[in-house]
């Protein structure tokens, strides 16, 4: 943990804190309006994801062509502008698209900088630190953002802008000027070539599809709780709902800490077992109606999720670093996982708009996770106990 890695963690903490605070501040704003349909909240999440999918061919090369600290700095400023426009009265869906543009630019630099700063042996550990920092930010941002928004949405928005600026200032102090190089040629053609190169092996395909599955299911679970908790637990406060999501975040943090011992890169196949367990826990969750039992189930779902996603992230970064460049690899990863989240959010918007029971939706989500895990694990080669692509 050198000073520059610590600064990356600090910048990530404050920007992730703000990302989660703005989500629940906006949800609170929306829930205070009586004329908004049940489809709007998942549509809000989808608006955030559009930029990740549309800009995927460009953000990876943008990140690799510049010192990544400057990319982190600029991306936070774009996020701050989006929140400022939301504060000024811009339609939340449009403001969230702008915030998503900043987030889409931020992600390749955030993950792409790690393989450039730490050794291969320390990469899983560094990812664990990043995930742990992010989870702490999710905890704070979710709960404090919801509580503050219940008191004053305007005050919550001011806090978020300040945090994005703070993250930008920390990123500005990171002393890491490595530049992979400027990619020449048409972005879409190059992106397609990089995608083909990255997905050339079963291990890389599994990692890409598996991380997409995780984030798609996590995104649906998060917004589903907004409808499920009032129907089953009779909870209507966004603060109390945010407290439920906090248990998922704590679980992911615990899972992230356990990863280096349980699922090193040389034994990536083990990650699929955590995914099966996560699907089973979500099915169990659909059957519960006691608050503490629900919290325990959400915690276990988070532990499984952390064990699942952290080694997969590390594997993708290492494969990308050795092949197409870490920034490009993360951009492709973002394309797949955000396309999956966008599709999942869109489907859930339709399901919610059609009035499907949230309990049935929760049960269906768990079943889909089990089936999708089986499919993405198909033909995954056996672990050799060695680091390879």
DSSP 352-385: HHTT--HHHHHHHHHHHHHHHHHHHTTTPPPP-S
pLDDT given for residue 385 in this prediction: 52
Task: Name the phi and psi angles at 383, rounded to 5.
Answer: -70, 140
Q: Decide if 17 is inside a domain.
A: yes
Q: Which CATH number goes with the domain that contains 149?
A: 1.20.1250.20
Q: Decide if 309 is inside a domain.
A: yes
Q: Decide if 42 is inside a domain.
A: yes
Q: Decide if 21 is inside a domain.
A: yes
Percent of the chain predicted with pLDDT > 90: 22
Contact present, 308 and 200 (Cβ < 8 Å): no
pLDDT given for residue 33 in this prediction: 73
Q: Decide if 305 is inside a domain.
A: yes
pLDDT given for residue 179 in this prediction: 62
Taking 3-state DSSP, the helix, strand and coil percentages for the chain, each rounded to the nearest 5, stand at 80, 0, 20
Q: Decide if 43 is inside a domain.
A: yes
pLDDT given for residue 388 in this prediction: 45
Residue 389 has pLDDT above 60, yes or no: no
Tally of domains in the chain: 1
Of 3-12, 292-301, 326-335, 352-361, least confident by mean pLDDT is 326-335
Task: Print the domain residue range for 322.
Answer: 3-176+191-376
Higher pLDDT, 135 or 328: 135
Q: Decide if 289 is inside a domain.
A: yes
Q: Decide if 57 is inside a domain.
A: yes
- 314 contact partners, CB below 8 Å, separation of at least 6: 123, 124, 127, 265
Would you place residue 81 in the very low, low, confident or very high pLDDT band (cuts 50, 70, 90)? very high
pLDDT given for residue 292 in this prediction: 93
């Amino acid at each position: 943990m050198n000073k520059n890695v610590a600064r990356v963690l600090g910048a990530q903490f404050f920007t992730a804190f703000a990302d989660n605070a703005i989500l629940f501040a906006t949800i609170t704003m929306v829930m205070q309006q009586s004329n908004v349909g049940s489809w709007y909240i998942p549509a809000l999440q989808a608006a955030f994801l559009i930029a990740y999918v549309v800009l995927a061919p460009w953000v990876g090369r943008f990140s690799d062509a510049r010192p990544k600290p400057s990319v982190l700095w600029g991306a936070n400023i774009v996020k701050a502008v989006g929140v400022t426009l939301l504060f000024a009265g811009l339609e939340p869906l449009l403001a969230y698209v702008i915030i998503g543009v900043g987030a889409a630019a931020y992600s390749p630099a955030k993950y792409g900088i790690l393989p450039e700063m730490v050794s291969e042996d320390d990469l899983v550990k560094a990812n664990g630190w990043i995930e742990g920092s992010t989870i702490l930010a999710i905890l704070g941002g979710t709960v404090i953002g919801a509580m503050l928004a219940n008191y004053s949405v305007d005050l919550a928005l001011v806090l978020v802008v300040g945090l994005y600026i703070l993250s930008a200032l920390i990123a500005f102090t990171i002393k890491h000027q490595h530049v992979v190089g400027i990619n020449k040629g048409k972005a879409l053609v190059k992106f397609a070539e990089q995608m083909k190169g990255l997905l050339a092996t079963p291990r890389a395909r599994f990692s890409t599809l598996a991380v997409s599955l995780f984030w798609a299911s996590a995104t649906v679970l998060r917004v589903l709780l907004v409808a499920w908790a009032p129907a089953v637990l009779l909870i209507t406060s966004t603060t109390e709902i945010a407290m439920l999501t906090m248990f998922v975040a704590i679980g992911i943090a615990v899972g992230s800490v356990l990863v280096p011992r349980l699922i090193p890169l040389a034994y990536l196949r083990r990650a699929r077992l955590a995914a099966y367990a996560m699907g089973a826990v979500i099915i169990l969750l659909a059957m519960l109606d006691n608050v503490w039992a629900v919290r325990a189930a959400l915690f276990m779902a988070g532990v499984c999720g952390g064990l699942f996603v952290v080694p997969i992230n590390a594997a993708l970064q290492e494969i990308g670093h050795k092949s197409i460049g870490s920034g490009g690899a993360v951009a492709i990863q973002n394309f797949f996982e955000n396309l999956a989240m966008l599709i999942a959010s869109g489907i859930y918007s339709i399901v919610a708009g059609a009035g499907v029971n949230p309990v049935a939706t929760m049960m269906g989500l768990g079943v889909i996770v089990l089936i999708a895990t089986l499919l993405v694990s198909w033909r995954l080669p056996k672990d050799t106990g060695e680091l390879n692509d």
